[in-house]
């Protein structure tokens, strides 16, 4: 019967609150807190199960380590080519560190740059990396190189794949970062007889200009990518964290809302009793459970969402464009969730006003005023404490 009274709040709040006031028990709010936690975890799991994040090598934690340290590179001809870390000209983004690698030669026409000791990298199915990303820029000369070729070594230096990048940058000019994406394990690559996509262990770039000149060339943002994984693979950790967060969200809102209603009604000279007020407020928060359950159902209609390197990398312009594409897919669900949120605000304030009216006999105007002010103050406190 007590549980029936709790759910009766949804469709007959005035009668339900009267029944609960006769026998107030904390088990009611605690039951709602458990229901909200379960429903909230369900809604979060629904989103996670539809979210896929691009995995890169180097990883996000490592940044673009291969283009952050010139010691990883050797260049020929030796000793004519100088290799150094460039702290002034680099890709600015969350994945890209604070430097690029600069190669320069005086009165030359060719630079060969080799990255060693990458470890064994699988670029074959199933589960191998599918894309190679590279940013490249030349400061001088003004003319484009007549040849720019990338090599991926496999097993031994005599086994390799190679791809002519010249066409990718043929319309570019000096002092402009070229963002090059190359599909791996595809027929755009030529290769030696024993090259194997399952074991890539080195990389080389060869650039040639038509005539001798002072050449300065920069590279940055070298990543293997194209693998998308869902965080649901680590679902146990996520569920534990979100369980704690959900409980804290309910408790913080419950205590602050109850406390503020108690203080404000006392300010209006009402003889408010703490226990029944707190219990009614906790039961009024059944709206949080309803919202979480509706969100879970709404989120289940989302398409699969892919978060690529362009979004994660944080490069100005690229990240915003990638985010807009994600927003286009989630626009309708976001709109529905927004309207549900507004409805929950109004519904919760109304329930708190009814509870205040029954417990204090304040006028309906004062009851709604107190409920609205207390509710939004509790939301502010929750945002300050929990960050959302």
Give the list of residues 6+ apart from residue 114 with CB closer than 8 angstroms, or none.
73, 74, 75, 76, 202, 203, 204, 205
What's residue 142's pLDDT?
83
- pLDDT surpassing 70 at residue 376: yes
Q: Could you tell me which of 187, 119, 115, 200 has the C-alpha nearest to residue 159?
A: 200
Distance CA 166, CA 138 (A): 13
* Contact status, residue 80 vs residue 106, Cβ threshold 8 Å: yes
Say whether 329 sits in a helix, a strand or coil. helix
The length of the chain is 388
Question: 271-293: per-residue pLDDT in tens?
Answer: 889 999 999 999 999 999 999 99
Domains of the chain listed by start with CATH number = 2-50+233-386 (no CATH), 56-229 (2.60.120.260)
Distance CA 20, CA 32 (A): 14
In this structure, what token pair is assigned to residue 360?
A: 């204090």
What's residue 157's pLDDT?
81
List helix spans (H) across the chain.
2-8, 13-22, 27-49, 235-267, 274-284, 286-299, 309-312, 318-360, 364-386
Q: Would you tell me how many other CB atoms lie within 10 Å of the CB of residue 336?
A: 15
Distance CA 384, CA 388 (A): 7
Confidence of residue 126 (pLDDT cuts 50, 70, 90): confident
What is the residue-averaged pLDDT of the chain?
A: 90
Confidence of residue 381 (pLDDT cuts 50, 70, 90): very high
Mean per-residue pLDDT for 81-88? Answer: 92
Confidence of residue 264 (pLDDT cuts 50, 70, 90): very high
- In degrees and rounded to multiples of 5, residue 124 shows phi and psi of -115, 160
Rg (CA), the chain: 31
More confident residue, 60 or 38: 38
Say whether 1 sits in a helix, a strand or coil. coil
Distance CA 242, CA 40 (A): 8
What's residue 336's pLDDT?
93
More confident residue, 235 or 270: 270
What's residue 254's pLDDT?
96
Question: 320-344: per-residue pLDDT in tens?
Answer: 999 999 999 999 999 999 999 999 9
- pLDDT surpassing 80 at residue 172: no
In this structure, what token pair is assigned to residue 269?
A: 């000279």
Q: Bridge-partner residues for 115, per DSSP?
A: 73, 203
In this structure, what token pair is assigned to residue 370?
A: 């107190």
Say whether 231 sits in a helix, a strand or coil. helix
- pLDDT surpassing 80 at residue 5: no
Confidence of residue 3 (pLDDT cuts 50, 70, 90): low
| Residues of the chain above pLDDT 70, percent | 97
Could you check whether the bond before residue 126 is cis, i.e. omega within 30 degrees of 0? yes
Question: 358-372: per-residue pLDDT in tens?
Answer: 999 899 999 999 999
Mean per-residue pLDDT for 69-92? Answer: 90
What's residue 322's pLDDT?
93
């Amino acid at each position: 019967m007590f549980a029936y009274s709790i759910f009766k709040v949804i469709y007959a709040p005035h009668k339900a609150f009267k029944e609960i006031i006769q026998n107030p028990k904390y088990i009611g709010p605690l039951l709602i807190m458990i229901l909200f936690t379960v429903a909230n975890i369900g809604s979060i799991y629904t989103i996670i199960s539809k979210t896929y994040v691009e995995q890169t090598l180097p990883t996000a934690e490592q940044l673009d380590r291969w283009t952050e340290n010139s010691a990883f590179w050797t260049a020929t001809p030796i000793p004519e080519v100088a290799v150094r870390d460039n702290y002034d000209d680099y890709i600015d983004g969350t994945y890209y560190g604070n430097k690029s690698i600069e190669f320069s030669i005086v009165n030359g026409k060719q630079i060969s740059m080799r990255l060693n000791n990458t470890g064994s990298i699988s670029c074959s199915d199933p589960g191998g990396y599918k894309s190679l990303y590279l940013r490249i820029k030349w400061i001088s000369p003004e003319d484009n190189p007549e040849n720019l070729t990338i090599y991926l070594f496999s097993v031994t230096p005599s086994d390799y794949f190679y791809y002519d990048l010249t066409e990718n940058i043929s319309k570019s000019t000096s002092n402009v970062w070229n963002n090059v994406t190359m599909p791996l394990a595809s027929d755009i690559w030529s290769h030696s007889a024993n090259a194997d996509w399952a074991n890539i262990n080195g990389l080389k770039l060869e650039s040639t200009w038509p005539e001798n000149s002072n050449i300065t060339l920069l590279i940055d943002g070298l990543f293997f990518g194209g693998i998308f994984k869902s965080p649901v693979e680590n679902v146990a950790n996520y569920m534990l964290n979100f369980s704690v967060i959900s409980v804290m969200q309910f408790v913080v809102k419950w205590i602050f809302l109850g406390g503020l209603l108690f203080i404000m009604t006392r300010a209006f000279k009402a003889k408010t009793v703490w226990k029944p007020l707190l219990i009614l407020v906790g039961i009024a928060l059944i709206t949080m459970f309803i919202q979480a359950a509706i969100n879970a159902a709404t989120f289940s209609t989302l398409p699969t969402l892919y978060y690529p390197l362009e979004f994660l990398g944080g490069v100005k312009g690229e990240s915003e464009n990638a985010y807009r594409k994600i927003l286009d897919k989630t626009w309708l669900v976001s709109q529905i969730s927004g309207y549900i949120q507004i409805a929950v605000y109004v519904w919760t304030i109304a329930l708190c006003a009814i509870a205040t009216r029954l417990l204090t006999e304040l006028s309906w105007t004062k009851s709604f005023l107190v409920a609205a002010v207390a509710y939004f103050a509790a939301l502010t406190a929750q945002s300050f404490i929990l960050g959302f």
